[in-house]
């Protein structure tokens, strides 16, 4: 299913429970659900995850991932604190979870799945590219303190975090893998997903917002890879590059869900005469 929550958000069918819940066909008990301000993916047990999420980043154990909508003008010097506050408001445990922020309309959430004899894979993506960027190109950057730098020179905003330090345009990717992987393969899987993201942006014609070169991502992309590690009858996957079944599946699902989310956003803009 490409955009499973489109009707829930677009037609406000919030009284129909089946409109806001996606049940995985490759991971028994894994659900992705739509809520007024967030998408929540939850597994029936705690799993191993590798994440670049603003909340719950690193190698962690989790059973939930949240993709949270914020206005595109959102500015904050402490996004993790904001996410923790929202989890408390929603009566969610603040540990064993990862939180992402996005300014993408949540009806443009794309989900695809793949299953083989070795594993099952679910990919859930929101793609926004208002702050698209090309890695390796000359552009505005920020140091660890949030000071804006251009051409290697720190600006006069010493001690102040620029408004552009965190911009919630963002491509957020959740990958749920029902099977077994080594830690090295998990890193390899992230690498493959990032390659697929760059390919999708190139094919969609997305350019760096500053220099008009082909974008490879946005300035605030995030990804979470969650692995069940529980399927003892499945082989232990040690590689996830593009020449492997695992890598090929990751690449295709990431590529396709990014394209689906971007196309949905483009069509919405055209219908609403948005720039």
Reading the block at residue 24, the tokens are 């995985």
At 80-137, the pLDDT tens digits run 999 999 999 999 999 999 999 999 999 999 999 999 999 999 999 999 998 999 999 9
Q: How far apart are CA 236 and CA 200, in angstroms?
A: 29
Rounded to the nearest 10 degrees, how much is the dihedral formed by the CA atoms of 177, 179, 185, 186? 40
Closest by Cα among 170, 169, 146, 166 to 222 = 170
27 has pLDDT over 50 = yes
pLDDT of 176 reads 98
């Amino acid at each position: 299913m490409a955009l499973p929550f489109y009707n829930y958000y677009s037609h406000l069918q919030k009284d129909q429970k089946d409109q806001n819940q996606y049940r995985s066909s490759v991971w028994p008990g894994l659900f992705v659900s739509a809520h007024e301000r967030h998408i929540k993916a939850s597994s029936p047990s705690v799993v191993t995850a590798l994440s670049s999420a603003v909340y719950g980043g690193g190698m962690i154990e989790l059973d939930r991932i949240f993709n949270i909508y914020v206005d595109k003008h959102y500015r904050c010097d402490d996004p993790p604190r904001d996410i923790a506050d929202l989890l408390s408001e929603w009566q969610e445990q603040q540990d064993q979870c990862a939180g992402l922020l996005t300014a993408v309309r949540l009806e443009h959430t794309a989900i695809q799945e793949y299953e083989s004899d070795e594993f099952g894979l679910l990919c859930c993506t929101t793609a926004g590219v208002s702050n698209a960027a090309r890695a390796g190109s000359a552009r505005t950057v920020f140091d660890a303190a949030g000071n804006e730098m251009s051409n290697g020179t720190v600006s006069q905003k010493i001690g102040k975090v620029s408004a552009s330090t965190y911009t919630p345009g963002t491509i957020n990717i959740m990958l749920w893998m029902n099977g077994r992987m080594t830690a090295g393969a998990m890193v390899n899987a992230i690498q493959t997903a990032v390659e697929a993201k760059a390919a999708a942006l190139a094919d969609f014609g997305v350019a760096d917002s500053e220099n008009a070169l082909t974008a490879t991502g946005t300035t605030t992309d995030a990804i979470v890879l969650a692995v069940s590690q529980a399927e003892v009858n499945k082989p232990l996957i040690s590689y996830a590059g593009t020449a492997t079944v695992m890598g090929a599946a990751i690449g295709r699902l990431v590529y396709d869900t990014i394209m689906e989310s971007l196309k949905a956003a483009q069509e919405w803009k055209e219908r609403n005469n948005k720039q």
